[in-house]
Amino acid sequence: MLSQEIEEKLKIAEQKYLELQYKLSDPEVVSNREALAKLSKELKELEDIYKAYKEYKKLLWDLEGAKELLKNPDLSELAKEEIQRLSQELESLEKKIRILMLPKDPKDSKNVILEIRAGVGGEEAALFVADLLHMYQKYAEEKGWKFSILSANKTGLGGYKEVIALIEGEGVYSRLKFESGVHRVQRVPITEAGGRIHTSTATVAVLPETDETEVHIDPKDLRIETFRASGAGGQYVNTTESAVRITHIPTGISVSCQDERSQFQNRQKAFKILYARLRDFFERQKEIEIAKERKQQVGTGERSEKIRTYNFPQNRVTDHRINLTLYKLGDVLEGKLDEIIEALIEHHIEERLKALA
């Protein structure tokens, strides 16, 4: 059975849902596009909870009716079967309701700044960054999200020392937030003549897109520099100072962008990355001070934590946080990530439910 606290919250949600429905029939609201959009959004957010609670009350009613039938000797066997079926449905629905009642992560609906950096392994690590970039691009394509490169530092063999991308779409952060951490690859590098398997790493950071209203930056704390954009090997690809470097002096966080021909465009991109990094920095500082809640998360989310291994000889992908192993490496690197992501989300929900219990 649901706790009294959850029951009370469900009643409040039900009442609010019905009130919103009534307000949406008001001609004044219908004629006000802004008010209509706001109320419609609130109604949609409560819809799943309202429907689940309505179904829950019906199941309880049906269960009581089935128990009454037990008193009739001619119908007792049928009643027992019905009670068993309804009890199973009720148990499943109660779990669904508990999940629906979990506090929402306000960042889940946000777009994402994805940062991938080469770790241990030299050129092979840089090539692995390119593989991960391709994987996330294909996954974004599959989800119908927009994927755009904000900054890239390429290497001679087609890899990247670092690449930063913006992924835009519905619920991007909610599905990618557990990708932060160290990704490890085990394979024979193209640079290895002896055919030995090497282990290399890349670091992934998934940051919710942030704007100036969410992070306060004093302009006096910024150092903004311009310089000439250069290509691989240092040759200049442009004769004007279009590249931009922005440094937040108090934290030492620095962002450079040089991929666009326009200094204005590079400046915009740099600020977009800087806001996301600063928000992430301040949130991590707050978590360290409070020193709590990490047990409820899938791993710690720290970038130093090894989260996944991609083993080419065995065609294997292993997520170490949930002990999930799939023998379909090719599919995963082509963006078929849902099986892993769904398992991570499910584990995260289970951990949160345990914490609430």
| Residue 356 falls inside a structural domain | no
pLDDT digits over 114-134, tens only? Answer: 999 999 998 999 999 999 999
Same structural domain for residues 27 and 48?
yes
**Whole-structure pTM value:** 0.74
Same structural domain for residues 130 and 220?
yes
More confident residue, 297 or 114: 114
Is the model's pLDDT at 331 over the cut of 60? yes
Same structural domain for residues 131 and 231?
yes
Domain end point (choices 100, 131, 166): 100
Q: How many CA atoms lie within 13 A of 287 on its CB side?
A: 14
Is the model's pLDDT at 190 over the cut of 50? yes
| Residue 76 falls inside a structural domain | yes
Same structural domain for residues 161 and 78?
no
Tokens of 223: 């150092």
Same structural domain for residues 189 and 274?
yes
pLDDT band at 58 (very low <50, low <70, confident <90, very high): very high
**How many domains in the chain?**
2
Percent of the chain exceeding pLDDT 90 equals 56
Same structural domain for residues 149 and 227?
yes
pLDDT score for 294: 42
Domain end point (choices 74, 100, 126): 100
pLDDT score for 193: 63
Contact by Cβ (8 Å): 300, 181: no
Same structural domain for residues 80 and 161?
no
Same structural domain for residues 173 and 249?
yes
More confident residue, 52 or 99: 52
Domain of residue 18 covers 4-100
**Residue 74 contacts by C-beta under 8 Å, 6 or more apart in sequence?**
none
Tokens of 103: 């506090």
Same structural domain for residues 335 and 186?
yes
pLDDT digits over 101-118, tens only? Answer: 888 888 898 999 999 999
What is d(CA 337, CA 317) in angstroms, rounded to the nearest whole number?
Answer: 11
* CA 177 distance to own-chain centroid: 3
pLDDT band at 87 (very low <50, low <70, confident <90, very high): very high
pLDDT score for 22: 92
pLDDT score for 263: 86
**Residue 43 contacts by C-beta under 8 Å, 6 or more apart in sequence?**
17, 20, 21, 24
Average of per-residue pLDDT values in the chain = 87
CATH code for the domain of 304: 3.30.70.1660
Is the model's pLDDT at 94 over the cut of 80? yes
pLDDT band at 299 (very low <50, low <70, confident <90, very high): very low
pLDDT digits over 210-265, tens only? Answer: 877 788 888 899 999 988 776 544 444 455 678 899 999 999 999 988 877 788 88
Domain end point (choices 100, 128, 147): 100
Task: DSSP letter for 230, please.
Answer: B
Same structural domain for residues 180 and 292?
yes
| Residue 105 falls inside a structural domain | no
pLDDT score for 184: 95
Same structural domain for residues 17 and 142?
no
